[in-house]
Amino acid sequence: MQRVFTISEKIVPGNLIQYQWQKTLGNYIAITGFDHTVKIFDRHGQKKNEINLPGMCVNIDWDKDGDVLAVIADKSNSIYLWDANTHKPSQLDSGMRDQMSFLMWSKAGTLLAVGTTKGNLLIYNPQTSRKIPVLGKHTKRITCGCWSSQNLLALGSEDKMLTVSNQEGDTIRQTTVRAEPSDVQFSVMKTDERASMGESTVSVVVGKKTLFLFNLSDPDNPIELAFQQRYGNIISYRWYGDGYIMIGFSQGYFVVISTHIREIGQELFQAHNHKDSLTSIAISQSLNKAASCGDNCIKIHDLSELKEMYAIINLDDETKGLDRLSWTDDGQLLAVSTQRGTLQVFLTKLPVLGDTCGTRIAFLTSLLEVTVCNHIEGEPPITVSVELEPNFIAVGPYHVAVGMNNRAWFYSLGENGVEKLKDTEYLGTVTNMCLNSDYAAALFENRVQLHMVRLKANHNWGSRTQYLMAAKLFESVLSV
């Protein structure tokens, strides 16, 4: 688990920070602290933009495609938007007179739900610029909520009510809970029969002690699950797989239950992952991994075999403890915020990219790093820092090339170290590239373009190198 970057508390002031990865793409992370700004960094830790707010940030969320970041702040009735494609901020008047307290984009469309401290609701569609104000959805502050994949909106409030509304804002289900609700989620309970109801179950933590399951198909028979007192409070939970729920508790326990009616309430897995406290759990569906954090370490399990510990990341310098975990959708990066206000990002998955030339090997060793080595000849490894995350690598006797889509960057590997030579654009997306001493051959759209990398006067490439390059090119063309 390689640390990619750290954002210190000096950059984002505040002991506890909010942050959100860009959905789908994971190219950006939005972070906010106590300084009335939302800062946007790329996945390498470089600051890209900043949104100034009139007060402290209340909530942030990315739309489902990761195109737009929405922000609400106290002391403001506006919704602040940032376009990830143009990097331009904009401002939208919500039309609501009371303070906003909740914000979330829909899973399946372009709808944005905004709740207020007095229980009112706004549903906004940026494609049509239509705003639907819903007054009196709740009688007190809306604190949590979630969209279903069928565009139903579940909301929890300080009035101890759970409401489920359609995309027009009409209430279709509601129920009372015994204490203040938090962490509302939609999912599918495990059943013997496969129904096409979609995400028909709303789950919510009640009073930090119980998990309330509200089946929209059977609203008169909700299920409330209580847990052992020694576990402490429910910190967070996640649905995964075929109706399983993973729950993290404040006293360091990590529990998995099933929602199958014959197994409900039964613990399928339990571990005391953290000695003093657990502060967050996260699941990566793409990696099939689960992570928990607490004290000053992160523990990662494989979902197919929870008893086996996949990895442990110790953060010995974080003496105040950790706060919250979050994975990018592709599972490549795992972020953890800390109790002192820093954010650390770790690389958990790396694409397998590489190339060979004779006994020399070049391969990706970090998001922006290629290592070239030749163990047979006893050459010391050479590290090449590249400008972008590549999707192909080529290595020759004197050069290495990396590229993405229709561009490639060329570096020389000389006695004086690594030197960037040039970058080249092609007339199509490059699917393969080969290098010899002087030339690069790029394969795209069933064609091979041959061009000079840089002429060297002090060497001649022999017939073996020519033959190897020609063979690789021929093999590439045949595979198209």
Same-domain check for residues 320 and 434: no
CA distances from 24 to 67, 105, 191, 273, 371 (A): 9, 13, 29, 30, 29
Same-domain check for residues 342 and 381: no
Task: Decide which of 308, 326, 347 is a domain's last residue.
Answer: 347
Give CA–CA dist 374/378, Å, rounded: 6
Give CA–CA dist 467/470, Å, rounded: 5
Same-domain check for residues 343 and 398: no
Burial class (CB in 10 A: 0-12, 13-18, 19+), 455: exposed
Same-domain check for residues 393 and 434: yes
Range of the domain at 62: 2-347
The answer to whether the CB of 186 falls within 8 A of the CB of 215 is no
Task: Decide which of 322, 347, 372 is a domain's last residue.
Answer: 347
pLDDT at position 75 is 86
Give CA–CA dist 447/427, Å, rounded: 10
Same-domain check for residues 329 and 362: no
CB atoms within 10 A of CB 479: 9
Q: Which two tokens stand for residue 44?
A: 């390498």
List, for the chain, all residue ranges whose pLDDT scores fall below the cut of 70: 191-197, 455-480
Q: Whose CA is closest to 124, among 135, 136, 109?
A: 109
Same-domain check for residues 343 and 426: no
Beta strands in 17-141 (DSSP E): 18-21, 28-32, 37-42, 47-52, 57-62, 68-73, 78-83, 89-93, 100-105, 112-116, 121-125, 130-134
Same-domain check for residues 216 and 92: yes
Structural domains in the chain (count): 2
Same-domain check for residues 370 and 254: no
Sign of CA dihedral 108, 114, 115, 118: negative
Give CA–CA dist 460/466, Å, rounded: 11
Same-domain check for residues 324 and 377: no
pLDDT at position 462 is 43
What is the reported pTM? Answer: 0.86
pLDDT at position 197 is 65
Same-domain check for residues 276 and 145: yes
pLDDT at position 195 is 53
CATH classification at residue 376: 2.130.10.10
CB atoms within 10 A of CB 131: 16
Residue bearing tokens 């001649």: 460
Task: Decide which of 284, 316, 347 is a domain's last residue.
Answer: 347
Same-domain check for residues 49 and 187: yes
pLDDT at position 193 is 58
Give CA–CA dist 27/367, Å, rounded: 12
Same-domain check for residues 23 and 154: yes
